Amino acid sequence: MKPVHDKLPPNDAPLKLALLEDDLMFAAAARDWLQDLGYQVTHYPTGQACLTGMAEQDFDICIFDWQLPDLDGPSVMRTLQALKRMPPVIFLTAVDDSESVAQVLLAGADDYVIKPPTFTVLHARIQALIRRMAQKGELPTLETLGILTVDHLKKTISHNGQAIILTSMESDLAFYLLSHRGQLVTRTRLYRIMGVEQLAVDTRRLDVHISRLRSKLHLTIEHGWRLASVHLQGYRLEFLL
């Protein structure tokens, strides 16, 4: 069995999250929302399934429910720690009294969120954990990609040192494409990032946003980029340098 990695993957790979949650409706919604933000999420509905999956696959951050029908979250964590397969973990807990919170942290959690969490709060805790890991030298925060400098934590992009002004929607689309460069990103996924249903939107609206990104970020061959439309499927962003 290979040991868990000491560092997170290079910036061109999306962060891999393990979600241990037996509430299937919440887990599906959380997974989809986090994937729309650019994370790669694997959901495990039981503690045993999580142990089996994480014994063979590396993850960067875990989100564990505290109470599960078979093995509780802390038991899963202790087993993975013994196997040296335990990355940083955020626990989801339904109790918020000081004694219970202390129990969560003393068990080895890096952070906790009271259930049911809003997705924005959960994402904020993930980002805070990423920042702490970066301060320890475990995660590069910046990418230099030719003429572009991309800060994945601050969500800023600069061109030759000059900040590029993006709308909120343009920023969401840009960082998703950047974190999935080299991959086909479907129109359905991009529509969801835009917050609209595919059947309810003028398809030209997406194309206009992509055209603006191509112009603002200088995503052209002469600058080392190719942002290509894949007929009837989606877009693929490639860094060629």
More confident residue, 194 or 51: 51
Q: Is the pTM of this model over 0.85?
A: no
Q: What is the mean pLDDT of residues 85-95?
A: 85
Q: What is the pLDDT of residues 63-72, one digit of tens each?
A: 999 888 898 8
Name all domains of the chain by residue range, CATH numbers in brackets. 16-135 (3.40.50.2300), 142-239 (1.10.10.10)
Using an 8 Å Cβ cutoff, are 218 and 159 in contact?
yes
What residues contact 158, with CB distance under 8 A and at least 6 apart? 148, 149, 164
Q: Using pLDDT thresholds of 50, 70 and 90, give the confidence band for residue 12.
A: very low
Could you give the residue ranges of the DSSP H alpha helices within the chain?
Answer: 24-36, 47-54, 73-82, 98-106, 119-135, 168-179, 187-194, 203-216
Q: What is the pLDDT of residues 173-219, one digit of tens each?
A: 998 898 888 888 888 888 888 776 555 555 678 888 999 999 999 99
**Residue 226: is it exposed, middle or buried by C-beta count within 10 angstroms (0-12/13-18/19+)?**
middle
More confident residue, 130 or 21: 21
Using CA atoms, how far apart are residues 122 and 119, in angstroms rounded to an integer? 5
Q: Using pLDDT thresholds of 50, 70 and 90, give the confidence band for residue 135.
A: low
Reduce the DSSP state of residue 59 to 3 states and report it: coil
Query: For all residues of the chain together, what is the average pLDDT?
Result: 82
Q: Phi and psi (nearest 5°) for 62?
A: -115, 145
- List the single range of 33-42, 111-120, 170-179 with lowest mean pLDDT: 111-120
Residue among 56, 47, 43 nearest 17 (CA):
43
